[in-house]
Amino acid sequence: MKRMATTWSWLRRLPRERDAELRLCLRMTTAAVLSLAVSHLLNLPIALWTVLTAVILTQMSVGRSLKATTDYLVGTLGGAIYAGAVGTLVPHDSEMALLAALALAVAPAALVVAINPRYSAATFTAVMVFFGPTITHAGPIASAVERVIEVAVGGIVGLFVSLVVFPARAHDLAVEAATDMIDLMARFLPELFAGFTRDLDQTALHAMQNRIGAAFARLDAVAVEARHERMTRLVAEPDQAPLLRTLLRLRHDLVMIGRAATVPLPATFRSRLAPRLTRIQETAADYLRSCSGALVARQGLPSVEAAEAALDGYDAEFAAMRREGLTRDLSDETVERLFALGFALEQLRRNFVDLARCITELAPTGSAPVAKVTANSSQSAQ
C-alpha cells in the first residue's frame, strides 16, 4: 500500500514537474498519428517516411520546429534531386558499377553535410532515392519525387501540430531560461563573496561558474529559436538580444569577482571592507531575485537603489583607505586583485542598470522604475 501511495503521489506531481516534456510527448504522438492518416488519405507509397519526418520535425518550440523543417526540406530536396540524377544518368547494371554509382551519389551529399550539418538529411535521402527503385519498383526520378512528397507532407504535418497542439513559444522558453540564469547568479553570490574573508573550495567555485555558463548556453540556443519565430512573424515579441548581451556581461562580472576572491583580503582590509562587500552581495542577490520575478510576471521592476548605495559605500570606504596610505605596503598581486575587484563592481553597477532596461523592454509596464534607475546611475557617474 505504501508503494502504491508513493506511485500515485508521483503520478499526481508529474504534470506539474514535467509539463513541457508531457506537452512535447503529446505533440509528437499527435504528429505520428496524423501523418499516418494523411499518408493513407493521399495514398503515399511508403507512409514510414512521412511519419518519421513529422515526428523528427515536431520540436520543443515553434521556432525550433520551423528551423528543423526548413533545414530538413532543403537537405531532402537537394539529396533527392542529385541522387535521382545519378541513378538516371549513371549506368549501374554490374556490381562494380553499382558500387561506383553509389559512391558518386553519396560523396557530394556527405561533403555538404560535413561542411554544414544543418542539411544532414541530404545523405540519408541520397541513399534512399538511389535504392528506392529496388523497394518501390519505380524509376530514380519517380523515387526522388515520392521521397520529396513524403517528406513535405510529414514536414507540413509536424509544423501544423507544433503550431496548434499546446504550442510552446520560444520567446517564453527564452524568458524561462533567463530567469533560471538570474536565479543561479543570485544563489551563488554569497558563496562567491565569501572568498574575500575565507579560503574557497576552488573545485566548487569552478563548478558554480560552469553551471552559470551552461544556463547561458541554454538561453542562447533558445533565443536563436525565438529569432526564427520573429522572422516568420508568427509572434510580435521583443528581441531578446539585449538581454542576452547583458546577462553575458553579468556572467563576466561574476568571473572577475571570483578571480579576485581566490585569496582572502589582507586582515586590515578585511575588517573594513568585509561588511561593505557583504552588503553588496545581499543587495545584489535581492535585486537579481526581484528581476527574475519581474521577468516572469511581466510587471513592475524593483529599484536598484539599494545595490547602488551598497556599491557607493564600498567605493567610499576603499577611497578612504587609499587616502590613509594603507595600499602602499601591499604586494603587487594584492593591489591588482583589489583594483580588479573595483572594476568588476563598477561593471556590475552598469550591468544592473542595463538589466533593468532589458526587462522593461520585455515587460513594458515596468518602464517607470527603469527611468529612475537610469537617473540614479547617471548621478552616480557624475
pLDDT, tens digit (0-9, with 9 covering 90-100), for 226-276: 666 665 555 556 677 888 899 999 999 999 998 888 888 888 888 888 899
Q: Say whether both 121 and 204 belong to one domain.
A: no
What's 287's domain CATH number?
A: 1.20.58
Note whether 349 and 315 are within 8 A (CB).
no
Confidence (pLDDT) at 379: 35
CA angle centred on 99, ends 95 and 102, rounded to 5°: 135
The x, y and z cell numbers of residue 337, run together, are 586583485
- Whether residue 5 is contained in a domain is answered as no
Amino acid at 314: Y
In contact, 54 and 161? CB cutoff 8 Å:
yes
Question: How confident is the model at residue 352, as a pLDDT?
Answer: 92
Q: What's the grid cell of residue 190?
A: 554569497
- Domain span including residue 25: 15-164
Residue 192 · residue 261 · CB < 8 Å: yes
Cα dihedral value 260, 264, 269, 274, nearest 10:
90
User: Do 189 and 321 belong to one domain?
Assistant: yes
pLDDT of residue 264: 87
**pLDDT value, residue 18:** 65
Do residues 87 and 155 both lie within one domain? yes
Residues 329 and 281 occupy one common structural domain: yes
187 and 138 in a single domain? The answer is: no
Model confidence pTM above 0.75:
no
Q: Which residues of the chain have pLDDT under 50?
A: 364-382
Q: Are residues 222 and 354 in the same domain?
A: yes
Picking from 164, 180, 200, the residue at the C-terminal end of a domain is 164
Q: Any residues with CB less than 8 A from the CB of 6 and at least 6 apart, and which?
A: none
Cβ neighbours for 240, distance < 8 A, ≥ 6 positions apart: 171, 174, 175, 178, 223, 226, 362
Let me know if residue 74 belongs to a domain: yes
**Are the C-beta atoms of residues 136 and 45 closer than 8 Å to each other?**
yes
- Shared-domain flag, residues 117 and 220: no
pLDDT of residue 232: 56
Q: According to the model, what pLDDT value does residue 368 have?
A: 40
Same domain, 183 and 147: no
- Check the CA dihedral 179-182-188-194 and report its sign: negative
The per-residue pLDDT for 382 is 30
| Same structural domain, 24 and 66 | yes
Asked if residue 357 and residue 285 are part of one domain, the reply reads yes
Angle at CA of residue 218, ends 18 and 246, nearest 5°: 125
Measured N-to-C along each axis, helices 19-42 and 47-57 cross at an angle, to the nearest 10 degrees, of 150
Task: Give the separation between CA 105 and CA 142, rounded to whole angstroms.
Answer: 16
Last residue of a domain, one of 118, 135, 164: 164
Is residue 4 assigned to a domain? Answer: no
How many domains, in total, are found in the chain? 2
Any domain includes 92? yes
Which residues, at least 6 apart from 318, have a Cβ–Cβ distance to it below 8 Å?
Answer: 273, 338, 342
Residue with cell 513594458: 364
Cα distance between residue 382 and residue 376, in whole Å: 10
In this structure, is residue 3 part of a structural domain?
A: no
Answer yes or no: is 9 within a domain: no
Whether 371 and 236 share a structural domain: yes
Euclidean distance between CA atoms 2 and 284, whole angstroms: 45
Same domain, 273 and 312: yes
